[in-house]
Amino acid sequence: MYKGTTLSVDVVDGMAGVAELCFDRQGASVNKLDRLTLQELNAALDAVAANNSVHGLLVSSAKDSFIVGADIFEFVEMFGKSEDDLAAYNAGCSTVFTRLDDLPIPTVAVLDGLALGGGFELALAADYRVMADSAQVGLPEVSLGIFPGYGGTVRLPRVAGMATALDWIVSGASKTAKAALEARAVDQVHPREQAREQALTLLHAAIAGEEDWRARHRRRLGGVESDAAALAQARKTAGRNARHLPAALAAVELIERAAAEGRDQALALESRAFARIAKTQAASSLVGIFLNDQFLKKKGKEYARIARPVRQAAVLGAGIMGGGIAYQSAVRGTPVLMKDIAQKQLDIGKSEAAKLLNRQVEGGRIGRDKADAVLAAIRPTLDYSGFGAVDVVIEAVVENMGLKKKVLAEVEALTGNDAILASNTSSLSIAELGADLRRPQNFVGMHFFNPVPVMPLVEVIRGPRTSPEAVATTVAYAAAMGKTPIVVKDGAGFLVNRILTAYILGFVGLVRDGADFEQVDAAMEAFGWPMGPAYLQDVIGMDTASHVVEIIAAAHPGRMDAGANNAVSLMAGLGRFGQKNGIGFYRYEPDPRGKPVKSPAADTHDILSRIQPHGRRAFTPAEIVERTMLPMVIEAALCLEDGVAESAQEVDMALILGLGFPRHIGGALRYADFLGLRHVVERCDALGEADPLYRPTARMRAMAAAGQTYF
């Protein structure tokens, strides 16, 4: 009846008049709802509607999944439309789904794999849904800063009730077949091998009049019963992050407003509301993050082609950091030797791995047998026995150049010619660390962020003599550990800490000029950071933070100048190291679980007054944001221009994954695009006369003049 590139329609039972609309995108492993698919779906529905011998339609997939959602790569162009044009475009796409809804014959969708986003919205337009017991359904759009726009906010309440729709759309979580059946979002669940046959049986029953499919269609055309309790709960949940991530709350308000409307009016409301949300900064940023992640995965596959296999790893230096690295390797399937010179440190490292595994067991994520096997794959040792067989050694001793060089030379003499040596350093030069090695081509930096099991980023630092194979092997190993590796060029602070230093220098400049550090923290947390800069220094440790800032600032004289007595170094000099000793900018006391709880430190303001030559003065939240964020933008631009990272995507993703940069902002360079480089340059010029930290680069000026963007 119809044959396209993404789907086809064939008669599968001529006697009963059953046709099957099967999604099967040629040359791809999954089905997605892009422009081509929607065009072909429209044409296929034309063919079905025109054929009077078709009395029922089965909607299926030939892939392992049903439809995984829309083509997010098309969102950038789509979201670039004006709000009115986007609403009209979205309404046109939604109309295709409505055509399926309005077919004058019964329809059954068989979901024998993932049916997410637009894929599930399409299934909701069918009269019945039969689901494989191994499949999952869901509407995850809020993770992209939007909500369902192809009828999901309209049809799910009318199919499964308002409470279910609110819960599923606000959470964005995928649902199992059991949960979907209990919520009445699907009608039957069967083993995967039986799902299609059972769906055909149901369709035959509907054609024969044994199922009242017309009543189901009528329910989808009308309004939906309101649920005050569910609305209140959804509004409370969605409201927690609504300031920066407005999509969930907008979806709640839309569902409430459309409840009394008929389907078509409700769909019109959905298209208009969707367009408004799609034009927000959060939607642009979160879609951008998704696309950046796809970019990194593609680069990772390119590295994997030349990477050497890693069957056995080793960590030098135990303790909390070494134990975290060893755990991450073992839990992802690569056994690891953990070497230290002190039994106490080995015990701490092994205990850290055991603690992490126990949490996994208690949370039901792995079984005890698996946890025991992972722990057994971490072998503590006080000597170098077994190091001749390792493929990668991660050196994680204390941040001291002399000690690291000594340890690296020792282990190089005991490992094979192809073994990779990787230093977990946050600030030391890879070139200098590897200067005396006999095989510098096998030496890289591998900077993990703390705490290792939580932070997803690993900076893979390419030294001046590092081989492409060593970089590729380290990238592949980091990815196998479940991390997101980003390759950066050697240099003080590498990428993330270099940009972070600019942010901290903006903060200490504010304090020097009279800002209240607590007001600075409040303004930056309101902006979207998980913690303000003063609190962050307390968490990092003032001694560590002061040392890193000094190293990085010294490497960029004339632009970065922390000053001899800035707020961070002052605190460090007074022994106020932050959480590690209970006092920094704030005071800390452990709660019953040992977690440090922050409270005001009464003397901090008086201490800081020593370095505020003009006394205290008030800054607006906008001024605070500008004074701290503009240095980050400039330093991110410089890192891109200097080749520290190869792309704007990698710069921004490193900040998001390594620092917790606000996701709704999308990264420093995407933030520059949002503000507009012309505006950035103007504001920098207003501040740059007094402080070189705010001087934009020549390329930034040229881009601003040409109206260019980083993305």
Q: Which spans in 528-667 are helix H?
A: 533-540, 542-554, 567-573, 604-608, 621-641, 648-659
If one counts every other C-beta atom within 10 angstroms of the C-beta of residue 382, the result is: 12
Q: CA angle at residue 18 from 14 to 21, to 5 degrees?
A: 120
Q: Rounded to 5 degrees, what are φ and ψ at 615?
A: 80, -170
Beta strand spans in 657-701 (E): none
- C-alpha distances in angstroms, 701 versus 685, 688, 692, 698? 11, 13, 15, 5
Kindly name the residue from 190, 204, 447, 556 that is annotated as catalytic: 447
The HSE-up count of residue 274 (CA atoms within 13 Å, CB side) is 30
- C-alpha distances in angstroms, 573 versus 537, 554, 566, 608, 697? 14, 19, 10, 13, 34
Residue from 662, 550, 585 nearest 281 by CA: 662
Six token digits for residue 345: 């440190």
Contacts of residue 423, Cβ cutoff 8 Å, sequence gap at least 6:
394, 395, 404, 408, 430, 433, 443, 444, 445, 446
Residue bearing tokens 């055309």: 221
**How far is the C-alpha of 614 from the C-alpha of 602, rounded, in Å?**
21
- Report yes or no: 637 and 672 within 8 Å, Cβ to Cβ: yes
Q: Rounded to 5 degrees, what are φ and ψ at 429?
A: -65, 125
3-state secondary structure at position 67:
strand
Burial class (CB in 10 A: 0-12, 13-18, 19+), 122: buried
Amino acid at 26: Q
Six token digits for residue 450: 């703390």
Q: For this structure, is 447 an active site residue?
A: yes
The HSE-up count of residue 115 (CA atoms within 13 Å, CB side) is 32
The HSE-up count of residue 58 (CA atoms within 13 Å, CB side) is 29
3-state secondary structure at position 175:
strand
- Report yes or no: 443 and 408 within 8 Å, Cβ to Cβ: yes
Element at 109 (helix H, strand E) = strand 107-111
Six token digits for residue 674: 């949002």
Six token digits for residue 412: 């190089």
What is the torsional sign of CA 646, 647, 648, 650? negative
Element at 436 (helix H, strand E) = none
Q: CA angle at residue 302 from 300 to 304, to 5 degrees?
A: 70
**How far is the C-alpha of 157 from the C-alpha of 300, rounded, in Å?**
41
If one counts every other C-beta atom within 10 angstroms of the C-beta of residue 272, the result is: 17
Residue from 497, 496, 475, 477 nearest 487 by CA: 475
Contacts of residue 59, Cβ cutoff 8 Å, sequence gap at least 6:
20, 21, 23, 100, 107, 108, 109, 110, 122, 123, 126
- Report yes or no: 580 and 533 within 8 Å, Cβ to Cβ: no
Buried b (16+ CB within 10 A) or exposed e, 331-347: beebbbbbbbeeeebbe
Bond before 621 cis per omega within 30 degrees: no
Catalytic residues: 447
